[in-house]
Structure formats: C-alpha cells, structure tokens
Amino acid sequence: MTLQSVADEVGVSRMTVSNAFSRPDQLSKELRERILATAETLGYSGPDPAARALARGRTGAVGLLLNGPLSEAFEDDVSAEFVAAVADELTRRGLALTVLTPPQGDRFLPARDVAVDGALVYTCDPTSAGVAWLSRRKLPVVAVDQDLGREVTTIGVDDLSGARAGARHLLELGHRRIGVLALTEQFAHDPPNRDRLLGWRRALGEHGLEPVVARTTLLPRSAAFAAATDLLESSDVTAVLCFDDVFARAVIAAATALGRSVPGDLSVVGYDDSRAATVGVPALTTVRQDVTAKGHLAAGAIADLLDGRAARSHVLPTELVVRDSTGPVPAP
Amino acid sequence: MTLQSVADEVGVSRMTVSNAFSRPDQLSKELRERILATAETLGYSGPDPAARALARGRTGAVGLLLNGPLSEAFEDDVSAEFVAAVADELTRRGLALTVLTPPQGDRFLPARDVAVDGALVYTCDPTSAGVAWLSRRKLPVVAVDQDLGREVTTIGVDDLSGARAGARHLLELGHRRIGVLALTEQFAHDPPNRDRLLGWRRALGEHGLEPVVARTTLLPRSAAFAAATDLLESSDVTAVLCFDDVFARAVIAAATALGRSVPGDLSVVGYDDSRAATVGVPALTTVRQDVTAKGHLAAGAIADLLDGRAARSHVLPTELVVRDSTGPVPAP
DNA sequence: CTGAAAGCGCTAACAG
DNA sequence: CTGTTAGCGCTTTCAG
C-alpha cells in the first residue's frame, strides 16, 4: 500500500494523493474526499513516516539526551515532571519525543543512530559521548540546566539566587552553624549543584561563615539518609540546606532517628518545591522552581530552532517558600 | 556529507563505505579503518538514520502509546519505573523509545505520523484512536496491563490473585466491614482496576461479604484524600483495600485527619509496593508487583516481534507484603 | 488545481 | 572481499 496504489485506484497522479494528505489546500475538497475515502477502503493509513522523513529532511522527532541510569531521570519527581512537560509541549507543536538513552555497548549509540531533528540535553555530563555525537551530527540542540557554551540555547534556573534566598532565611532565623547536603564531586560542574552550592557559600560568606559540606548521591535513596546521619553526628549544625526536597526529607528522617525534632532542634531547607515538599510532615521550607515552565520553554526553544527561528535562552526565577521545616535557632 | 562523498574520497564504491559502517565483517580491517578515518576527517558522522530507516524498512524506534495526560504517566512512581525499565531494555537491544502522546489536535497524530517499528500500549483506553491507528498501520504491538484481544502479545500482572491475597489478609485479621478505594467507572474495563476490584469482591464474597466501594481519580492528588474522607465518614469500615499505594497514603492521611489511627482503628492495604509503601509511616501492607520485570518483558517481547520471533504473553505474579498498616479488627 | 521530473541517502541481493 | 543494480515511499520544484 503506497501513495501510488491509491493514485492508480483513483486515477490521479501520486502527487495529488500526497497533496490530499499533506496539503489539503492544494486540491478541491471534493477530490480530496474521494481520495481519502479510497485510501480508507484500500487500508492505506497515510504517508509512510520514514519515507516522508527522508524526503522532507525532517523526522518530526526530538531527542531527549539523558545520561546515567534512566531510573534517575524517571523516578525523580522533578525530572519526571520535566519530561512530561516537554512531551506535552512537543506534541502541541507536532513533534514527538524520543528518549536518547546512554549507550550500553558499542554497536548502538542512540545519540548517533536514532533519527531525530534536534535534541534536548538534560542531566548530562557535557563531556559525554552523547553530546559529542549530537554536535558531530550538527543537530540543533537546546541545553537544559546545562552549560554547553554560549552559542547553545540554554534553559536554566536562577539557582544562585534561589540558594542564596534559602541561606539568608536561615541566617535571619539566627542560625550560624549551617550544613549543606549536596551532590558528590562527580557533579562539581553540574550547574544546579554548582550554583546552589555557590549561592549557599556566598550568602554565608557575607556573614563570614562557611558551611559544613556533606555530599551524597541521588541513588540509592538510602545514601542520602546515611550522609545526613553522618553530617548530624559529626558536626553541631543547627540547620541544613539541601540540594533537593528528597534530600531534605532524608535529613529530617535522619534527625528524627537521632531524636532531634524539626524545626525545634534542626531547621531544614529543601529545593524545587516538588511533591516531597508538601507530602510529608513537616511541610518543607524550600526554594520553588517552575519545572513545567522549564519543560515548555525547552520544547518551545527546540521547536523554534527546527523551524529556523531563533531561540532565546532563558533563566527561570526561583522563589523561597517558607513552611514548617525551619525555625529560630535553638537555645544553646 | 554522504556515503558517496566518503566513497569518492577513498576511491571505493559507496557500498563499501556502507559496509564499513554497518557490516564490519564484510571488508578487510585495513580498508575499513582507512574509510573510517577518512569519514572522520570529512566530518561524516555515519549513515543518516532517516535514509537508513527507509532503505532497511526499520527505524529502530519503538513507540510507547500512552493515553491521558502524560503527567499521569510520568509523575506516578510505578509508571515511571516501568518506562525506565522499558527504555533500558530497548537500548540493550539496539532500539530507542519514542513517546506516542495522545493527539492534541487533528493535524498531528503521533500514533499515525511518527516513524516507529512497533509499539507498546500502556495505560490506554483500548478503544482509543491511538490504538486504532497502530493497528491500521499493522504495526507489531505488545499490550501491557491491557486487553487488546487474544492475538496481541500481552504482558500483565496477576492482579486477581494479588487483590484476593490482600482481602484475605484483612479477613484473617477479623475485619468484616471492608471498604475499597478504586478508580472511577471510566476505568471499569482497565484490567488492573477491574481485576483488583474483582479479586477483592471474590475474596469477600467467599465470606458472604460485600465491600463498600469508593471511587476516585489519580489526579488531582487531592481527589483521593477527599474520597477517602468521604468513605470513612459515611461508612463504618474497619479496613480499606486500595487500588494503589498512593491511594493508601491518602486513606491514612484522611483517617489521621479524622482522629483515627492506623492500624489501631483502621487497617489499610496498598497495592504495587512502590516507593510510597515504604517511605512514609506506617509502612504499608501492600501487594507487590515487579514493575521493572514487567518493563523488561514488554521491551523484550516487542523486540522479539520486530525480529520476526514469536513473543509470548506473560502474567507476572504478585505477592502480599505485610507491614505496619494492617492489624486486628478493633474491639467494638 | 494537477502532474512530470528528479531526487532524499541509504541498503539488499547478487555478481565478480 | 568489493562493486553493480535497483529500488525504499515520499516530497520538492516547477510547468501546464
């Protein structure tokens, strides 16, 4: 079943059938309906997407390049919300989302071998093979929470200000011995981790203070609990600033296990204002970012690029949300 | 930059260059390396995936057809874990995952217009347009937690037994007035919802009992809390069987808000053994299913189908996990 | 509004 | 091991 079979049946040229499907305004309504009806009868389900992709030079799919185990990307509320927002917005613009997983061998490298018109780079080591392949293919790319150079359209978040706001909030409450729970050194150059750490450091620095830094990983989830326990046992911090809300929950759990109450004995600040911030008790003081907006902007940017329009970089604002996990510094 | 340019430069035929990239065993190691080196120099990044897809008749991408807002699919732990497992296993098999979102208009229907070799159908209304388009395109399909007919390879879960085990557990604890919190009528034919409900009903039926049925939706999350509150206020159930762990948490939250303790005053059984089961207090008694295995099996099945191998249907087992949210029926 | 010509870039099959 | 032949199914451009 091809365009040609339908054309033969109707008695028009293949091109007219193509137009019936792809450019409705190029032929009479009447003829178009006759063609569509015949196609239906013949069981022709429309132009073959692969052939169309080759002829048009566009596949209609946008890649989402992710590094590390996918479980990290999909099992984290924040990433999942981002992916959902991206997929929704891409669909609205007539594009599909293809997941470009990290390669698991040598034969098949998604970033090299999968047909996409462009890609979103998210949660990636900028030096990864995937990023390199995308640029070798000269595909349009939009970086999200990532530094790929000034020429690359980038959608980011003002984590520097967000982190600073969180730290200042603690300082205003009188805290002076403050811990932070960040990602491991492996993420030293990951913008969110880097900027949050920097924002905390700067705010504390304004008071001549230095944070007690603890580091951990997103997975396994138990790692954060262990790191938090260690931080609380090995130092006398009265407050902890966390890389994200999940870490904040881990700190609260660790504090509780050590018999310390939050916010009575310890103040905890999360980040993201994800589901974890409001689902548990106490509700978290956290720094809100609009992940859905980030996804929409990223999808819009890559779509613009594909349409030959310029795409602007954006830095999304953050906002401190004060809830119940922070309070005045405890009396000595 | 095409195969031809590289061929011209090296002075061999285009086919030999193609072989250098795609069938390394078809030419001498020496020649191959010379070709690859030249390609590298010329900035040729390998065969164009779109052209290759047309010529080979295979795109190397598998669709994942989802219905309803993507937020439901991605922001639910269980679905997210499933998607991650699918993507991982597909990558291992040299395939990519393309998300086939529900159509948001008329011009662009992912299930009709996106190039994929086959698709996984998950969380879909079987009568949806998406499913219809896939079958019109005659694409190989694997159904997950879905009834698409006996000819369609299906990966499912033994929810009937799982639900029964949960209900029997409550019966053994002495409960007789039992509520259930299921999905709305809209999901009457959704296999997980249908089978869990059926399993609960049958187990209770063996004791001549009928459950008090409450129904709600996955989103917004507040809906479950409201439904649970209503159930607890309008009936005198001593235990509630829930469609999933998130609902179980909502029931516990509602009970707590009404001044009832779990499991002292009320027993609650979840489903899935997802993160929600163990993250909060009390840890949930729940019915475990292996979502990652489900994802791996589904990906393996569609990959087999694409390779022309037969793919078997599977029904994964479930297992009751007793934790702290269930206890003996309270004294009257 | 319709059709003819000319590929898009690659690969299967087979011959040498 | 290497090259030739013959498309894959569609769209772009441009003339009628």
Taking CA atoms, B320 is separated from B199, B287, B308, B317, in Å, by 13, 4, 37, 10
Collapsed DSSP state (helix, strand, coil) of residue B106: coil
From CA A184, how far away is CA A127, in angstroms rounded? Answer: 17
Q: Which CATH superfamily includes the segment(s) B3-47?
A: lambda repressor-like DNA-binding domains (1.10.260.40)
Query: Does the CB of B325 have a partner CB in chain A at under 8 Å?
Result: no
Query: Does the CB of A129 have a partner CB in chain B at under 8 Å?
Result: no
Residues 6+ positions from A210 with CB-CB distance below 8 Å? A201, A204
Name the minimum distance, in Å, from the CA of B101 to any CA of chain A: 7
Check CB contact under 8 Å for A80 and B75: yes
Q: What is the pLDDT of residue B214?
A: 98
Percentage of chain B surpassing pLDDT 90?
A: 86
DSSP string, B18-84: HHHHH-GGGS-HHHHHHHHHHHHHHT--SS-HHHHHHHHT--SEEEEE--S-HHHHHSSHHHHHHHH
pLDDT of B75 strictly over 90? no
Residues 46-65 of B with CB under 7 A from strand C: 46-48, 51-52, 54-56
DSSP string, B176-229: -SEEEEEE-GGGTT-HHHHHHHHHHHHHHHTTT--PEEEEE-SSSHHHHHHHHH
DSSP string, A129-189: HHHHHHHHTT--EEEESS---TTSEEEEE-HHHHHHHHHHHHHHTT--SEEEEEE-GGGTT
- Within 7 Å of a protein beta carbon, the nucleotides of strand D are 1-5, 7-13
Show the beta-strand stretches assigned E in chain A: 61-65, 96-100, 118-122, 141-144, 153-157, 178-183, 212-216, 239-242, 267-269, 286-288, 314-316, 319-321
pLDDT of A317 strictly over 80? yes
Check CB contact under 8 Å for A74 and B75: no
Is 0.85 topped by the overall pTM?
yes
Q: Which nucleotide is nearest to B56 (CA to C1')?
A: C11
Find the mean pLDDT for residues A160-172.
Answer: 98
Residues of B in contact with A46 (CB under 8 A): 112-113
Every domain of chain A and the residues it spans: 3-47, 61-157+292-316, 159-289
CATH, domain B61-157+292-316, list 1.10.3330.10, 3.40.50.2300, 3.90.1150.10, 3.40.50.300 = 3.40.50.2300
From CA A271, how far away is CA A268, in angstroms rounded? Answer: 10
pLDDT of A44 strictly over 80? yes
Give the confidence band of A26 by pLDDT, cuts at 50, 70, 90.
Answer: confident
Q: Which nucleotide is nearest to B23 (CA to C1')?
A: C11
Q: What is the pLDDT of residue A124?
A: 79
CA-based nearest residue in chain B for residue A24: B107
Q: What is the pLDDT of residue B59?
A: 97
Residue type, B69: P
> Which of the residue ranges A155-159, A203-207, A306-310, B297-301 would you say has the lowest mean pLDDT?
A306-310
CA-based nearest residue in chain B for residue A1: B137
From CA A330, how far away is CA A259, in angstroms rounded? Answer: 15
Residues of A in contact with B53 (CB under 8 A): 50, 53-54, 115
The tokens describing B139, both together, are 């694409």
pLDDT one-digit tens code per residue, A81-125: 999 999 999 999 999 999 999 888 888 999 999 999 999 999 878
Find the mean pLDDT for residues A203-207.
Answer: 98
Termini Cα distance of chain A: 81
Cα–chain center distance at A288: 15
Q: Do the strands B96-100 and A96-100 form a parallel or antiparallel pair, or are they unpaired?
A: antiparallel
CATH, domain B159-289, list 3.40.50.2300, 2.10.77.10, 3.40.50.300, 3.40.50.11540 = 3.40.50.2300
pLDDT one-digit tens code per residue, B150-190: 999 999 999 999 999 999 999 999 999 999 999 999 999 99
Name the minimum distance, in Å, from the CA of A120 to any CA of chain B: 14
pLDDT one-digit tens code per residue, B237-282: 999 999 999 999 999 999 999 999 999 999 999 999 999 999 888 9
Peptide bond into A110 cis (omega under 30): no
Helix (H) or strand (E) holding B168, with range, is helix B159-172
Strand C and A27 CB separated by under 7 Å? yes
Best mutation target among B45, B62, B90 (most A Cβ atoms within 10 Å) is: B45
Give the confidence band of A259 by pLDDT, cuts at 50, 70, 90.
Answer: very high
Q: Which nucleotide is nearest to A56 (CA to C1')?
A: D11
The tokens describing A188, both together, are 């030293």
Exposed/middle/buried for B172, CB within 10 Å: 0-12, 13-18, 19+? exposed
b/e string for B254-272 if b means 16 or more Cβ within 10 A?
bbeeeeeebbeebbbbbbb
Residues 6+ positions from B84 with CB-CB distance below 8 Å? A69, A70, A71, A73, A74, A75, B292, B295
Structure letter (DSSP) for residue B272:
B
pLDDT one-digit tens code per residue, B291-323: 999 999 999 999 999 999 999 999 999 999 999
pLDDT of A3 strictly over 80? yes
Best mutation target among A40, A45, A100, A274 (most B Cβ atoms within 10 Å) is: A45
- Better pLDDT: B4 or A230: A230
Residues of B in contact with A48 (CB under 8 A): 115
Among B102, B64, B60, CA closest to B80 = B64
From CA A70, how far away is CA A273, in angstroms rounded? Answer: 22
Among A78, A116, A98, CA closest to B91 = A98
From CA B54, how far away is CA B57, in angstroms rounded? Answer: 5
Residue type, A276: A
Q: List residues bridging with B315 in a β-sheet.
A: B156
The answer to whether domain A3-47 and domain A61-157+292-316 are alike in fold is no
- Better pLDDT: B75 or A40: A40
Q: What is the pLDDT of residue B105?
A: 81
pLDDT one-digit tens code per residue, B12-36: 999 999 999 999 888 888 999 999 9
